[in-house]
Chains A and B, each alone.
Chain A
Amino acid sequence: MLKRRSQRKAEIPTATMADIAFLLLIFFLVTTTINVDACISMQLPPKLDANVDPPEIQQRNLLNILVNNTGDVLVDGQFMAISNIRAEVMKHVTNEGRLSNYSDNPDLAIVSFKTERQLPYGTYIDVLDEIRGAYVEIRDSYSQEIRGVNYATYRGQLGEDDEDEVKTKYPIKISLAEPDAGGSE
């Protein structure tokens, strides 16, 4: 008995291994959806505390963007096409105190964005995208100025603890205003 056993080759057949692996591979190939998800990140304002007064904001540092149900845009009381918002936001943020009705400096500049409740979400994103687009352009050109590369490349070059100079200079401050506040002034 013992002798017979030692004569046998104690091998696991590995020829079918590839087939098993193939089956698994095909399963994962079929179920995989490579997500190309993109997003617009925002930060919601914290819950209102009745005991704390909201911080005072000078009117000149605030750019009010109002959108009504049909998608008409009012920027600081002026009627405007959606495609012009970008230029207006850029003008507001990079004003540096030159014009009296735009911001003092980029750090204080706030864009307030408010819509009516019946506005379709698609338009909401269009307007938000224009505002974000303005900041992206501003950051790109500033990064080009100080480092000679665009912002994404500059971000890539930053180490863990390095300060992001561009972000510090031009922080994105978009305020999602309370829709029910009724009357912005």
Chain B
Amino acid sequence: MSAHFKKKSAKTSQAIPTASLPDIIFMLLIFFMVTTVMRETELLVRTSLPAAEAVEKIEEKRLVSYIYVGPEMLEGNRYGEDSVQIDDAIVDDLFEIRNIMYRKILEEPRMIISFRVDKEVETGLLYDVQGELREAETLRINYSTMREGGS
């Protein structure tokens, strides 16, 4: 009996073939590389988004340009005035927005502006920013929200 066992184990190779391991890893790697969106801007304002139910997915992410509105984050977990951030800087004067947006829309006419606005911000500021967008003829916008239920 024991002789039989010995013979059998001797015939088959015990090693797991690892030649295809890099391929598997590369597949995973490529998947994550494709799905990764690097955070290209550092947030200078707090944006805790409100939740909504009747939402859609953001499509054509390449066309989306973000505007962040919220209380400015100061040192030591304090918050300052409500401010508007475009790309990686805070816009001091709201009138500058139309120039920034005008330049952007020239580069990409199909641009969509996505608002990431803090829950607590007063809508007056939002209206001012939207007024600037209208001046620059960038009319396609959306409001980023959380999905209701899955906070």
Residues of A within 8 A of B (CB): 14, 17-18, 21-22, 24-25, 28-29, 31-47, 115-122, 124-126, 128-129, 132-133, 135-136, 176, 179-180
Q: With a CB–CB cut-off of 8 A, which chain B residues contact A179?
A: 123-124, 127
User: Contacts A18-B25, A31-B36, A128-B143 hold; do A121 and B52 have CB atoms under 8 A apart?
Assistant: no
Are A115 and B123 within 8 A (Cβ)? yes
Are B146 and A38 within 8 A (Cβ)? yes
Partner of A38, one of B18, B21, B56: B56
A28 CB → nearest B CB, Å: 4
Give B30-66 interface residues, CB cut-off 8 Å to A: 32-33, 35-39, 50-58
**15 intermolecular pairs with C-beta atoms under 8 Å apart:** A14-B22, A25-B25, A28-B33, A31-B38, A38-B147, A40-B52, A40-B54, A42-B142, A43-B139, A44-B130, A120-B123, A122-B119, A129-B54, A129-B148, A132-B52
User: Contacts A31-B36, A120-B120 hold; do A42 and B143 have CB atoms under 8 A apart?
Assistant: yes
Are A29 and B32 within 8 A (Cβ)? yes
Q: With a CB–CB cut-off of 8 A, which chain A residues contact B18?
A: 18
Looking at chain B's contact residues, the main secondary structure is mixed
Q: With a CB–CB cut-off of 8 A, which chain A residues contact B150?
A: 36
Q: How far is the CA of A42 from the CA of B56 in the complex (A)?
A: 11
A47 CB → nearest B CB, Å: 5
User: Contacts A21-B22, A47-B135, A125-B143 hold; do A40 and B55 have CB atoms under 8 A apart?
Assistant: yes
Residues of B within 8 A of A (CB): 18, 21-22, 25-26, 28-29, 32-33, 35-39, 50-58, 69, 114, 117-124, 126-127, 130, 133-135, 137-148, 150
Q: How far is the CA of A17 from the CA of B25 in the complex (A)?
A: 10
Q: With a CB–CB cut-off of 8 A, which chain B residues contact A115?
A: 123
Are A133 and B25 within 8 A (Cβ)? no
Q: With a CB–CB cut-off of 8 A, which chain B residues contact A180?
A: 127
Q: How far is the CA of A126 from the CA of B36 in the complex (A)?
A: 31
- Which of B29, B120, B135, B142 lies at the interface centre, i.e. has the most chain A CB atoms within 10 A of its CB? B29
B137 CB → nearest A CB, Å: 7
Are B22 and A32 within 8 A (Cβ)? no
Partner of A28, one of B32, B119, B137: B32
Q: With a CB–CB cut-off of 8 A, which chain B residues contact A29?
A: 32
B114 CB → nearest A CB, Å: 6
User: Contacts A44-B134, A120-B121, A121-B126 hold; do A37 and B57 have CB atoms under 8 A apart?
Assistant: yes
Q: How far is the CA of A22 from the CA of B22 in the complex (A)?
A: 8
Q: How far is the CA of A35 from the CA of B145 in the complex (A)?
A: 12
Q: With a CB–CB cut-off of 8 A, which chain A residues contact B137?
A: 46-47
- Which of B18, B32, B119 lies at the interface centre, i.e. has the most chain A CB atoms within 10 A of its CB? B32
User: Contacts A18-B25, A21-B22, A122-B50 hold; do A117 and B123 have CB atoms under 8 A apart?
Assistant: yes
Are B25 and A37 within 8 A (Cβ)? no
Are A42 and B122 within 8 A (Cβ)? no
User: Contacts A119-B123, A124-B126, A125-B50 hold; do A43 and B141 have CB atoms under 8 A apart?
Assistant: yes
Are A40 and B142 within 8 A (Cβ)? yes
Are A132 and B54 within 8 A (Cβ)? yes
